[in-house]
A and B are shown apart, each in its own frame.
Chain A
């Protein structure tokens, strides 16, 4: 039974006040989310086609299905989906024109096209609302027509919570800045409505409460208009709306006003997108932060267990070990934020264990706190000199243990996230991703698992920057980083390797699987339409991928991936090349991981 079109759920109700780009993005998302269902309907109908039979009804239904898919696919810019649907439509049309009899080749051909469509649908999922950026328009001053009768107006009180879950209102009197920020946040999955004056913002809040607001501090009417508006809105609402202030004022007075009005964060202009995102993620995330993980090492088993219990009662996750030898293997599976270590253990002292940890790339910055009955300050200092971050004297008050551990782990987490992130894309930076590759190679070697490393480089990126300007170039990089982050699995690591170069560490996949994954990403990214000053353009990327154990060290892997990338560029770009054994490092020479400059 082919799906009744009447039963197809329709796209989300329009928000008339939203900008066109946002509405379009929403429709695209909705189209994509229903695509698998439509394709499954088509598959069922195709499976019912019997060669040699005349089957007008089913052919008609399939024709309508593919024709519709061709039209809406093309409308939303999914050209490849539209083309595949068009081929299927023509095959069905051909059978219809031939008196409605099903030829033997038809089901086979349609099944093949269905495979293509399924793959494209999967690939398209990464490019949900790609063109919210950079093409973004501010809503016109509210001159909305009356909604036609029978249609609900803009406000929809009964809407499901998730629709407004990440809705952010942004208000800045500088329309360029507002558009730019909204576009960037759109890249990261936020629904943003931008306003250039507080009156419009106020009206919108009355209609639909956002999950967070971003407000400028200074407006033409008053240098504290932003905080005043927040205070006003908070006084009227049952529940405060989380708010981030953005301001060119970096003075104490401006910050104080913002804090008094109930602002949760304060970013100074020029705004760093990633910083703003960190705050937004935290403010709009309904989940509590991950608990702090602590590893307690003490040869006194009971004391180790006691300290662990104290920390657990304070909401942390603590593991106790009494044998220092178990620490390394434990850290492979337990992602510790901090190690609490006894200073004097019989087989291996605290400082010795610290040195061992510090010589493993993944644990260089793992916070370590010593616990000992040592009260001699001089000896304490000597102990700290080998790279510990704190010192607690036994017996320790539970409250003090909780405070010391919590404070250090929390600070370390923040510091770590700022240290390892790239400022534009929020991905890991070059050093971090290289360090992760080292850890991944060590793990793969120990566990005998496979591992792939990919280098991704945007094609002709320089000409994008030259033609459309750097802000547009940045939007392309952000769209790509978002594509990578959303699409890859939780445990794949994505980093920005350099300018327009990205690196991905794919654990547990062989090179064929990696090529398949990267090809799907490549195809979907190539379909993303970018807008800049009313012009449309597309971008592609090239990939070089190498695998472990064909290349059995981090250096060999990066070198080989880099050579494969070079081949992909030379071979016409927009392709994935797999590193062959001949891409291995030449005779042992000085280490070099030069990246290719051509793009």
Chain B
């Protein structure tokens, strides 16, 4: 799959990219919701999936998801968070998966992507 990864923390982003590269996916890493919207704005069909961190300055992951849907971009969306993912997921049921950012990501992220 062609995947857009959005994370303002370069380490967390690079780690997600490494995990997905290992699964044979093709990733583009950007550092903010605004950059993500730019990338999607040009041609959102270019991406099969968007994976975003929740807590980012200016535009949170949840804001990004809502903005995408408001603009009619239907690309599946996975949210990563350092906090408890359950209540977040409840706020936006349209999100494909909401995952905890910890060492288990190596297993949960590929599994979530594979389920799409």
Contacts and interface: CB of A to CB of B under 8 A. Distances in A.
Given A75-B102, A75-B105, A529-B103, A148 B27 contact: yes
B37 interface: no
A529 B104 CA distance: 12
Contacts of A70: 82
A8 B82 contact: no
A75 B103 contact: yes
Interface in B85-107: 100-103, 105-106
A82 interface: yes
A75 B9 CA distance: 11
Contact of A67 (B14, B27, B82): B82
Contacts of A30: 11
Nearest to A9: B10
Interface in A321-365: none
Given A74-B82, A75-B102, A67 B26 contact: no
Dominant SS at the B interface? Answer: mixed
B10 A10 contact: yes
Contact of B18 (A23, A67, A536): A23
Given A14-B18, A20-B18, A27-B14, A72 B9 contact: yes
A75 B18 contact: no
Contacts, number: 84
Given A10-B10, A67-B55, A67-B82, A74 B101 contact: yes
Interface residues of A, number: 34
B82 A24 contact: no
B11 to A, nearest CB: 4
A145 interface: yes
A77 interface: yes
A455 to B, nearest CB: 31
Contacts of B55: 64, 67-68, 71
Contacts of A19: 22
A592 interface: no
17 contacts: A5-B8, A5-B57, A10-B14, A23-B18, A23-B22, A64-B57, A68-B9, A70-B82, A71-B9, A71-B12, A71-B53, A71-B101, A77-B103, A145-B25, A146-B26, A148-B27, A148-B28
Interface of A: 5, 8, 10-11, 14, 16, 19-20, 23-24, 27, 30-31, 64, 67-68, 70-72, 74-77, 79, 82, 86, 137, 140, 143, 145-146, 148, 529, 536
Given A30-B11, A71-B12, A75-B11, 13 more contacts: A5-B8, A31-B11, A68-B8, A71-B9, A71-B81, A74-B103, A75-B12, A76-B103, A79-B102, A79-B103, A82-B102, A86-B82, A143-B24
Closest 6 CB pairs of A and B: A20-B22, A71-B82, A10-B10, A74-B102, A145-B26, A77-B103
